[in-house]
Structure 1
């Protein structure tokens, strides 16, 4: 037999809670001749069973039914499903925290946050101590804080000596250039890389060109390439972020961005860059788009992981018009543009020993090539020549 205070101590509940349970007839105390209430072992065990049922997610009323032998199987099944969902949510939260702490691979987390909040994702990475160049590469390439340094090193080693970091072709660029109504003025090449397109524009137009990239090595390759050429006088390099460009408002007649606007999001790029355009200035931009309404599952899942903002050609056209531009012309980049990118990359991968690379960079590039070999044509780069309405 237990006094109420002793029972409360044993089950770690307050005296008032026990009195409430007694009022609900969950336990039954007995008043002795001395005026004190006493409780039996049966009351103690009922409370402990009650606590276990509550830990399973049952309400007090539902617990009372179970204690009285009135078990509702459908109700318990519903509770079980809710509990399973809660466990899955907690497990996801655990994986998220572990990823953020660098205790396990963070690829899934980076892919998820990139789909839902890409700009916040970038800012968070920068707050962790990565500079913008490192953060962008982590966001788009390694997606894993633990192996990012090794992944980047392997990636750069694979692409060393390869000029094109993505699909492009001189004929495609010239087709876009010839669609522009102007051929002189100030032009900005955003995300110029090693300057292949910059040099092409300089040779085939009268533009004064600013080549912007956040990779000093890429810009040094451009400088070395043009230092003994006449076009050197018309090309200025700028090692800066495309998201915080250090230029005056309305400085450029043309902004050229082949294969680079995806980094900050096409709609966001078109909005932010408009301030640097002269009134009714021009933008040349390319973006990877779906060319079919029924892509294969494997291709769709691959690009959902690697370019979650990828849309159809029709949707991207709508986005451009809604951003305040009219489309002068638009065309899908040629098969040759893909060959210019893929052939040198395949040759490089065929010549290397995978065992020399410790990260997933090689496997990721081989997977990308597999997707291109199987499904290229379901998607492609669409090149847009635009005129600002402002």
Structure 2
């Protein structure tokens, strides 16, 4: 898949994956108390909707990391409009190979991004970043049943072959040195309201351009297929918030 075509489609969207401000706040509410002035990092922040929620709710600086500089520019502009620019520190970097010293953060946040590394690999790479009792909140694509429909299973076997269940993901977290504090699935509204419906609108505006751009047409067709699949089988898989603590 062409990255240029991918970013062409996914630019100027509220979110780059399923999520909601309410879900971010709910995850924060379920976590144990943080230290005063916590050190917080948001990995794979995208345009940063959750970054702004974290900054507003915690009142502490948030280090927001993403490899795509235009997403960081969108976040900076949104933070400026929201009066939160002084709390948002952007960094253009590969979140899979950060050089921060061990124990740098009290809270590691990541919504819809750890799949780029794979759940187990992301947990392993990020564990050293946390303080000895540091917390992590991450959403991950997850099977919600042990027996998914064949069509959905075939799609995700190709798109994300290591996708696990809540049980297997929790086991992987414990094996990587975390205590599993809580989990909860995102509601269907977190897929549709700020992600799929805006994405459908974006696809509609680009269809004429895609008629002469095969790479863009491929990305649009694949995305349309994903949306159609969720509409039919969304009760069998979803994004789950995993709330973890360094063990």
Same fold (TM over 0.5): yes
CA deviation after TM superposition for structure 1 residue 230, in Å: 4.0
Q: Which one of 337, 360, 372 corresponds to residue 230 of structure 2?
A: 372
Q: Which one of 201, 216, 223 corresponds to residue 76 of structure 2?
A: 223
Q: Structure 1: how far apart are the matches of 2:200 and 2:69?
A: 26
Residue 386 in 1 paired to residue 244 in 2?
Answer: yes
- The Cα RMSD (Å) is 1.5
Residue 346 in 1 paired to residue 197 in 2?
Answer: no
Q: Which runs of 5+ in 1 are unaligned?
A: 1-141, 143-150
Q: Structure 1: how far apart are the matches of 2:130 and 2:8?
A: 37
Q: 1:269 to 1:319 in 2, by over 3 A?
A: same
Number of the residue aligned with 2:87: 234
Number of the residue aligned with 2:214: 358
Q: Structure 2: how far apart are the matches of 1:230 and 1:373?
A: 37
The answer to whether the Cα contact below 8 Å between 1:330 and 1:385 also exists between their aligned partners in 2 is: yes
Residue 255 in 1 paired to residue 113 in 2?
Answer: no
TM-score, length-normalised on structure 2?
0.92
Number of the residue aligned with 1:291: 144
Q: Deviations over 1:17-43 (max 9, x none)?
A: xxxxxxxxxxxxxxxxxxxxxxxxxxx
Residue 177 in 1 paired to residue 28 in 2?
Answer: yes
Q: Structure 2: how far apart are the matches of 1:292 and 1:240?
A: 35
Secondary structure, aligned partner of 2:33: coil
Q: Which one of 322, 332, 341 corresponds to residue 185 of structure 2?
A: 332
Secondary structure, aligned partner of 1:227: helix
TM-score, length-normalised on structure 1?
0.59
Instruction: Map residues 41-56 of structure 1 onto 2, 5 A cutoff.
Output: none
Q: Structure 1: how far apart are the matches of 2:155 and 2:9?
A: 21
Residue 323 in 1 paired to residue 181 in 2?
Answer: no
From the two aligned structures, give the one with the greater strand fraction: 2
Q: Structure 2: how far apart are the matches of 1:376 and 1:356?
A: 32
From the two aligned structures, give the one with the greater helix fraction: 1
Q: Which runs of 5+ in 2 are unaligned?
A: none
CA deviation after TM superposition for structure 1 residue 270, in Å: 1.4
Instruction: Map residues 80-99 of structure 1 onto 2, 5 A cutoff.
Output: none
Structure exhibiting the larger radius of gyration computed from Cα positions: 1
Q: Structure 2: how far apart are the matches of 1:208 and 1:182?
A: 17
Number of the residue aligned with 2:42: 189
Q: Structure 2: how far apart are the matches of 1:349 and 1:235?
A: 30
CA deviation after TM superposition for structure 1 residue 171, in Å: 0.7
